[in-house]
Amino acid sequence: MTTVREINDPEELDAVSPLWNELLERTAGASFFHSLEWLQTYWKYFGAQKRLRVLVVSDGDQPLGILPLVVRISRRSEPVRILTYPLDSWGNCYSPIGPDCMTTLKAGLMHIRHTPRDWQLIDLPFVNAHVDANQTPSALAHAGFKPSCETQDASATVNLAAYKSWDAYLATRKKNCRKDLRKKENRLALRGAISYIRYRTHRAEADATDPRWDLYDACEAISQVSWQGSSRTGAALNRELYRAYYRDCHLAASRFGAVDVSLLSIDEQPVAYQYAYHYRGYISALKTFYDPEVAFEGAGTIVQARTIADSFLRGDHTFNLGPEYMEYKRNWLTDVRPMHRYTYFPYTAVAAQLVRAKRAIERWWRTEPSVATPSL
């Protein structure tokens, strides 16, 4: 018999940590953002005025999966209580934890249907269409929540597993791309001695891992001088609004074994970086910034190229470059993977129907996919 246990108190999450980690190891398309370590960090900074609804699904004594959900007030333009995933645009894909996504979703959503309603609409965003294979809309419909679907965004992805080596992959890039990379490498070399380091923490040694704050601080310093870092919008590492969150995430990812930092230097002076999280060969790129003084030399392009090349040597299978700045990623991507949003708008909820109408108008006017930004 399938049962569901609901956890609302964040303090009770530590008790399910071993189970969470065991199920995470068998979760398709999982990233650091699926980890309990990330959820607890997220909740520390952004859990205010939200209600936690973590559903643990079991078949008798056998745990099957975990469905992490939160109830929160949507953005200002949509003042409605939504039941949703806790990602809030910090990552770009999410799903239940465990190998049986369909059973976990069905049981969890049936539980939601038969418990007191503290939400006005259900919104399950960031669903990787490639991994999900229509399980989410099927589970919603099974629970009586007829969903609408929209393509929320798309992630630029490098399918590393499709190539034997960096050279084989590079040969598939356009001739102008390869030529441009060589020119930038040569121009940057005129500046001084180029050095590249990539540092990762690993699960097996997480308890004794060095977070390498020296590397993180170098990344933060580059963010500070970059054009993106001085912007009042976005979520750069140095932006005061998010700085403490990012630093705590770095520590949590270090302990979890997911830190992935690439740093490019000229004469030992850091000039560009790519900050990412890795998990079981899946790379989630978070930020790539460079010092504007070496913009002409293409330091950002070079750190990206060297990181992808290094991923081939490490045996990684997927490099998710994220949804933003597609123009700058077109030379590297092999796939553009859509992220779907499934929403249930109850017919009797006036606020939900107003949101539905608003989104329909936005889709009608939209000429290109919008870039999501984290919400507090």
pLDDT of res. 374: 47
Q: Where is 160: in which H helix or E strand?
A: none
DSSP 21-58: HHHHTT-TT--GGGSHHHHHHHHHHH-TT-EEEEEEEE
d(CA 134, CA 132): 6
Q: Please give the radius of gyration of the chain, using alpha carbons only, rounded to the nearest integer.
A: 21
Beta bridge partner(s), residue 275: 261, 287
Residue 179 burial by Cβ neighbours in a 10 Å radius (0-12, 13-18, 19+): exposed
Cα-to-chain-centroid distance, residue 100: 21
pLDDT of res. 369: 47
d(CA 264, CA 196): 5
- Below-70 pLDDT ranges, the chain: 75-77, 204-208, 228-234, 366-376
pLDDT of res. 234: 63
307 near 262, Cβ under 8 Å? yes
CA atoms within 13 A on the CB side of 352: 17
pLDDT of res. 29: 92
pLDDT of res. 1: 87
pLDDT of res. 229: 64
pLDDT of res. 232: 60
Task: Name the strands in the sheet holding 51-59, side by side, starting at the edge strand that comes first in the sequence.
Answer: 2-7, 51-59, 62-73, 81-84, 121-128, 335-344, 148-158, 318-322, 282-290, 269-279, 259-266, 194-200
CA atoms within 13 A on the CB side of 68: 26
Cβ neighbours of residue 63 closer than 8 Å, sequence gap 6 or more: 19, 23, 56, 57, 98
pLDDT of res. 364: 77
pLDDT of res. 375: 46
DSSP 126-137: EEEHHHHTTHHH
Single-letter residue type at 150: E
pLDDT of res. 233: 57
